[in-house]
C-alpha cells in the first residue's frame, strides 16, 4: 500500500514538472517569436539647395537643411529633437509628430558664435531612438557686420482705435488698417492689440500668433487670412536704451538674437523703455524694438522704434 501512495505522489510530481516544462517552453517560444525592431532611421537630405555637411559661413549667411527620418518598426515616429550648441551655450527644441516618415526643413542664419553644432534625432512611439545626426557651421573670419533698417517711429492703434491702423510691415515700414492689412497679408509682420481675455494688456504680436477671433472681428480679421507671417519675441531685460540708441549695424541685434522656436508669440504688458529682440519665421530677419510710449486700452496706441537687419 505504501508503494502505491509513493508511486501516486511521484506520478503527480512528474505531471506537474512536465506541465511547467511545457509552459516554460511555450512561453519562451512566444518570446522568441516577438519581433525585435531596429532603431528609426535619420539622415540629412542631399538634395540641391540643402546643406548636408559641415560648412564655413559668413555672418548672416542663410542656409537650409532637411531632415529625413522614417520608422523601422510597426510604430510611428512621435518626436523630433534638435539641439544647438553655440560657443558652449546649448538650446534644445522638441517637436511632436505622428507619422511613419518625417521631412523636416530648417532655415539657419549664421550668428555671431564661432561654431554652431546642430544635433538631430527622432523617437518612435515605443521610445526607440535613432542615431544622432550632427552638422556644424563655423564663422568665416572674413565676416563683417551688416546694415540695418531703422524705423524711428511706428505708431500702432489698438483694435478699437478708429484713427490708427494696427498692422505693420517690415518691408514697407508702414502701418495698415485691418482692411488694408487683409489686402496685403503676405507682407504683414506685426500687429498691436489690447488683450481683453487674458492679462496680457498692451500686446505686440503677429498674424501667426493664434489670436482669438474676437480681437479683430469682421471679414478682414486675421482669422480669415490665407497668408500668415509669424514673428516671435524675447524681452531683453539687460539691454539698455543707450545701447539700443547706439545700434548702427546688426552687431547688437545678432548678439541678442535667439533661435526662432524658443521665442514667445507675444510681447505683452508693454511699458515705455521695454526692449524686445524679435525674429521672423518667413525670411529669418532679426531685429530689436524699443517701446517709446503706451496709452489707453482697446482704443489706445503704442509707439515703437524698430531696428531690423536689411
pLDDT tens across 261-278, in order?
A: 899 999 999 999 999 999
Whole-number pLDDT of residue 87: 86
CA distance 150 to 304: 11
Burial class (CB in 10 A: 0-12, 13-18, 19+), 245: exposed
The domain spans of the chain are 1-34, 41-139, 148-309
At residue 215, the 3 state secondary structure works out as: coil
Residue-wise pLDDT for 170-194, tens only, equals: 999 999 999 999 999 999 999 999 9
Cβ neighbors of 12 (< 8 A, separation 6 or more) are: none
pLDDT tier at 28, thresholds 50, 70, 90: low
Q: Which pLDDT tens digit goes with each residue over 245-260? A: 999 999 999 999 998 9
- CA distance linking residue 267 with residue 222, whole number of Å: 18
| CATH class of the structural domain 41-139 | mainly beta
pLDDT at residue 49 is higher than 50 = yes
Q: Residue 5's pLDDT is what?
A: 45
Res. 142: pLDDT tops 50: yes
Q: Which residue, chain included where needed, has cell 517552453?
A: 25
Helices (H) and strands (E) in the chain — how many of each? Answer: 4, 17
What does the pLDDT average to over 2-9? Answer: 48
pTM score: 0.79
* 206-255 pLDDT, tens digit each: 999 989 999 999 999 999 999 999 999 999 999 999 999 999 999 999 99
Instruction: Using the predicted structure, report yes or no on whether residue 13 has a pLDDT greater than 60.
Output: no
Residue 150 CA, distance from chain mean position = 27
Grade residue 125 by pLDDT with cuts at 50, 70 and 90.
Answer: very high
> Can you give the pLDDT at residue 277?
98
What's the rounded mean pLDDT across residues 44-51? 96
Amino acid at each position: 500500500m505504501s508503494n502505491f501512495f509513493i508511486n501516486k505522489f511521484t506520478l503527480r510530481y512528474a505531471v506537474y514538472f512536465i506541465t511547467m516544462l511545457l509552459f516554460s517552453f511555450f512561453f519562451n517560444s512566444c518570446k522568441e517569436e516577438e519581433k525585435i525592431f531596429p532603431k528609426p532611421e535619420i539622415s540629412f537630405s542631399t538634395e540641391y539647395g540643402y546643406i548636408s555637411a559641415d560648412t564655413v559661413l559668413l555672418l548672416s549667411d542663410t542656409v537650409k537643411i532637411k531632415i529625413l527620418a522614417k520608422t523601422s518598426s510597426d510604430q510611428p515616429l512621435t518626436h523630433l529633437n534638435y539641439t544647438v550648441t553655440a560657443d558652449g551655450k546649448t538650446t534644445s527644441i522638441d517637436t511632436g509628430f505622428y507619422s511613419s516618415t518625417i521631412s523636416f526643413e530648417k532655415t539657419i542664419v549664421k550668428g555671431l558664435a564661432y561654431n554652431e553644432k546642430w544635433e538631430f534625432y527622432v523617437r518612435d512611439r515605443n521610445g526607440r531612438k535613432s542615431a544622432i545626426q550632427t552638422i556644424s557651421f563655423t564663422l568665416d573670419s572674413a565676416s563683417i557686420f551688416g546694415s540695418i533698417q531703422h524705423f524711428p517711429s511706428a505708431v500702432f492703434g489698438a483694435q478699437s482705435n478708429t484713427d490708427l491702423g494696427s498692422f505693420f510691415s517690415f518691408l514697407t515700414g508702414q502701418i495698415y488698417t485691418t482692411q488694408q492689412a487683409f489686402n496685403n497679408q503676405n507682407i504683414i509682420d506685426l500687429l498691436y492689440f489690447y488683450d481683453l481675455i487674458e492679462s496680457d494688456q498692451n500686446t505686440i504680436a503677429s498674424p501667426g500668433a493664434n489670436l482669438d477671433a474676437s480681437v479683430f472681428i469682421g471679414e478682414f480679421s486675421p482669422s480669415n487670412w490665407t497668408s500668415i507671417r509669424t514673428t516671435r519675441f524675447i524681452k531683453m531685460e539687460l539691454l539698455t536704451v543707450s545701447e539700443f540708441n547706439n545700434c548702427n549695424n546688426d552687431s547688437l541685434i545678432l548678439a541678442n538674437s535667439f533661435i526662432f522656436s524658443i521665442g514667445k508669440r507675444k510681447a505683452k504688458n508693454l511699458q515705455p523703455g521695454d526692449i524686445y529682440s524679435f525674429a521672423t519665421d518667413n525670411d529669418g530677419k532679426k531685429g530689436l524694438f524699443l517701446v517709446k510710449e503706451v496709452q489707453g486700452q482697446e482704443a489706445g496706441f503704442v509707439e515703437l522704434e524698430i531696428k531690423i537687419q536689411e
